[in-house]
Amino acid sequence: MQQKLNAGIIFGGKSAEHEVSLQSAKSIIEAIDRSRFELTLIGIDKNGRWLLFQPEDYLVNENDPSNIKLSESGEPLSLVPGDPRQLLRKLANNEVLPPLDVVFPVLHGPYGEDGTMQGLLKMADLPFVAPGVLGSSVSMDKDVMKRLLTLAKIPNADFVLIEKHNRDKVQFAKVNSRLGMPVFIKPANMGSSVGVNKASNEDEFNRYLDFALQFDHKVVVEQFIKGREIECAVLGNEDPQASAPGEIIAHHDFYSYDAKYIDDKGATLKVPAELEDDTVKKVKAMAIKTFQVLCCEGMGRVDMFLTGQGEIFVNEINTIPGFTKISMYPKLWGYSGIPYTELISRLLDLAIARHQRESTLKISM
């Protein structure tokens, strides 16, 4: 019998998407193939402390998205990079935990999806799910992402970048002249609609801009694209594949944070999207091109707008998308022939394969 691999599931984190991460992790922990994987559950609280949990006691209010939180049972951990076999220790008694074979960082937003966690895991010489440091960081930063997409001639909405240090110099008239109204105002380095608002006039523009600048030093003010919201999941390393596309039908003014994670009637997820065959091919091709241009591997969900004229604009890519059983990424792959449990296994296998590939490279002369 093949020896089980020890998979570290890291969840929670310091970002505004802490609660979303807990929901995603819960689904993965419940569905992972226990015939192949042992689990080490590592929760990161909102202060950044790493805590060891047991599968029978790691969440409180687990079925309430608004009030879900880590339990009080976590044992504080210390990290000692240098030897993967002795990376994790219990802080109370310095007991060394069994070494991890692979890590699934189920972390959304800053301090988890932006390259910071990926850099730590790379320094610790551990295989991990989803893109590496570069792909994670450029995909998270909407300003850098959009510049790279534009260089690659991938259509995306026109935008204006506003930085906190020049907030006082912003002229609404110039922004309005270039982008028109309404516009979307987004912190450059937040995900899942955190801090995002739709402004239709000067008062809303100024109010929402100041609000977004509470979350990041850079804010993207983006042209409004009227169209259907289409999403496509990508899976793979050197030869990524795209799923069938799905459609988000928002019942709020736009697909806001509440519509995604709090209000269970906030949006309808339609899988598959009702599209012509030719459009499906274009969506899948653009999803894969976006994934590769942004140096991604493992997984990513590419979000697009499809206009009434048949034009496709890339909105963004999520490198660690929501991963509950009803989230769009696993739903798209479920429809495309990869069930949830198998999808988790494939992602862990892709992480190990990439780590093995990278380990053959020289790091010195």
Model pLDDT for residues 317-343, shown as the tens digit of each residue? 999 999 998 899 999 999 999 999 999
In the predicted model, what is the mean pLDDT of residues 241-246? 98
Same domain, 345 and 264: yes
- What is the reported pLDDT for 266? 64
Among 278, 280, 276, CA closest to 244: 280
Q: What confidence tens digit (pLDDT) does each residue in 214-239 have?
A: 999 999 999 999 999 999 999 999 99
> Is 264 a residue whose pLDDT tops 60?
no
Cβ atoms of 192 and 17 closer than 8 Å: yes
- What is the reported pLDDT for 83? 84
Could you tell me the residue range of the domain that residue 182 belongs to? 158-223
For 287, residues 6+ apart whose C-beta sits below 8 A from its C-beta are 232, 233, 234, 242, 245, 302, 304
Confidence label for 271 from pLDDT (cuts 50, 70 and 90): very high
How many whole angstroms separate alpha carbon 21 and alpha carbon 65?
A: 10
Confidence label for 260 from pLDDT (cuts 50, 70 and 90): low
Q: What confidence tens digit (pLDDT) does each residue in 272-317 have?
A: 999 999 999 999 999 999 999 999 999 999 999 999 999 999 999 9
More confident residue, 261 or 44: 44
The pTM is what?
Answer: 0.93
- Residue 344 inside a domain? The answer is yes
Among 224, 114, 205, 115, CA closest to 162: 205
Q: What confidence tens digit (pLDDT) does each residue in 85-98 have?
A: 899 999 999 999 99
DSSP string of 175-227? HHHHH-SSEEEEETT--TTTT-EEE-SHHHHHHHHHHHTTT-SEEEEEE---S
Task: Give the domain CATH number at 66.
Answer: 3.40.50.20
> Is 262 a residue whose pLDDT tops 80?
no
Same domain, 82 and 166: no
Same domain, 193 and 267: no
Q: How many domains does the chain have?
A: 3
Confidence label for 194 from pLDDT (cuts 50, 70 and 90): confident
For 286, residues 6+ apart whose C-beta sits below 8 A from its C-beta are 154, 232, 302, 304, 312, 314
In the predicted model, what is the mean pLDDT of residues 42-55? 97
Same domain, 195 and 246: no
How many whole angstroms separate alpha carbon 82 and alpha carbon 262?
A: 41
Confidence label for 190 from pLDDT (cuts 50, 70 and 90): confident
- What is the reported pLDDT for 252? 58
Amino acid at 11: F
Confidence label for 256 from pLDDT (cuts 50, 70 and 90): very low
Same domain, 95 and 17: yes
Would you put residue 236 in left (φ > 0), alpha (ψ -120 to 50) or beta?
Answer: left
CA dihedral 114, 115, 118, 119 (to 10 degrees): -150
The strand ranges marked E within the chain are: 5-12, 37-44, 50-53, 59-60, 69-70, 75-79, 88-90, 102-106, 159-163, 183-187, 197-199, 218-223, 228-236, 241-242, 246-250, 267-270, 298-306, 312-318
- Residue 202 inside a domain? The answer is yes
In the predicted model, what is the mean pLDDT of residues 51-62? 96
Q: How large a percentage of the chain has pLDDT more than 70?
A: 95
Same domain, 342 and 231: yes
Burial class (CB in 10 A: 0-12, 13-18, 19+), 227: middle
Task: Give the domain CATH number at 200.
Answer: 3.30.1490.20
- Residue 45 inside a domain? The answer is yes
